[in-house]
Structure 1
Amino acid sequence: MNAPFASSIPATASPLWKALSAYEVGPVDADLSFTQRLARENGWSLARATCVFEEYRRFLFLAVTAGHPVTPSDAVDQAWHLHLTYTRDYWERLCPDVLGQPLHHGPTKGGRAEGERFFEQYALTLRSYEAAFGPAPADIWPSARQRLNRDPEARRVHPSEALVLPRKWLWVGLSLALIVLLIWRLL
C-alpha cells in the first residue's frame, strides 16, 4: 500500500485544492442549494451541512492525490451519495473539469475480508487527511473503529414515521415514572 499523501507544497496551495474550494454543486439559480438539500435530507443544520460539504471537498482532493484508495466518513459519504444524484454536474463538470479524472463510488461487496480492507483503507485515509490538512474533525471523521464497526449499525429513520429519543431521555423518563409511582404508593 502506498504511503499517505505527502507533498512539498501545502494541499491548500495546490491548483486542485483551489479549484475544489471554488466548486459548488448544481445550478447556482436553484431554489434549494446543494448544502440546503444535504441538510434537509440528513436532518442536519445548515451549518453542519456546510462543514460536511467542506470535508467532502477534502475527500475529493485526497481521492485524486493520496496515491491509494480512500474511504469517506459516513457524513462525507452522504454528501457523495447526494452529489451522485446530480449526474450531469458530477460526470460532466466535477470529474473532467475539476478532478481531471473519473471518480467512481465503489461500495463494499460484504464479508470479513472486505470489512478488513475498508477498515485499513479508512485508517489510511485519516492519515493522508492529517498529512494534507492537519487533524480531521472527529465529529465528521470518527475513528476507523467507529466508522466501520459502529456507524453501519445506524438506521436512517424518516421523522414522520417514527419518534426517536436520545437514550438519556429514556432514563430520565423511567426515573420520573419511578418517582411518581413511589409518591402514589405513599399516598
Structure 2
Amino acid sequence: MATATPGTPPTPDPQETHVTTGATVWLTGLPSAGKTTIANELAGALRAEGRAVEVLDGDEIREFLSAGLGFSRADRDTNVQRVGFVAELLARNGVLVLVPVIAPFADSREAVRKRHQAGGTPYLEVHVATPVEVCSVRDVKGLYAKQAAGEISGLTGVDDPYEEPDSPDLRIESQDQTVAESAAAVYALLGERGLL
C-alpha cells in the first residue's frame, strides 16, 4: 500500500507499480479492409491482460472530433492530423492506442509518425492490405454499392486515391487469414518492439 505523511507526496509501493509503455498502432487500408475489426479483436485481448487500450474509430472521430469536415484532400489531412494528435497524447501517457483510420495520403501519415517521433512516442504503421476486389464484396457500410450506383463519389481506392505505405511495420493480407490471426500478428509485432 502506498504511504504518505501530511504535506508530502505518497511513496509508491514497488509491488503496486506497473509501468506501461504507450504506443500508437495506426491501421491503414481501404474501406472494408478489416481495420476496425482487427483493432477491436486486438483491443479485447489486450484489455483482458489489464492493458490500457483505446480504439480511435474513424466513424466516431468523424462524428465527435471532425464534424463538419468533408472528404477533400485538405479535410482528410486535417482529420488525420487531429486523430494523430489525440493518439500521441494518449500514447505518451501510457495508453496503447489503436487507430483504424484509412489515412489515404502518405505525407499525412508521415506527419503523424514525425509527431510521435518528436515526442519519443512509439508509433507503428500496419497496412491492412486487403485488395479492393475483396473490400467491395465485403462492403460493410454499402459504400462500394453506392459508388457503383452513382450515389456517392470520392471513394478511397476506387475514384479517389489511396497511397499504399512503402514500408509499413507490418502488412496484413486479411483475406488470407482469420481476424484472430490478423490480431495475433499485430500482437506479435508489439511484443517484438517491447511494447507489451
Work out whether the TM-score is over 0.5: no
- Could you tell me the TM-score, scaled by structure 2's length? 0.24
Greater strand fraction, Structure 1 or Structure 2: 2
Q: What TM-score, normalized by structure 1, do the two folds share? A: 0.25
Bigger fraction of residues in helix: 1
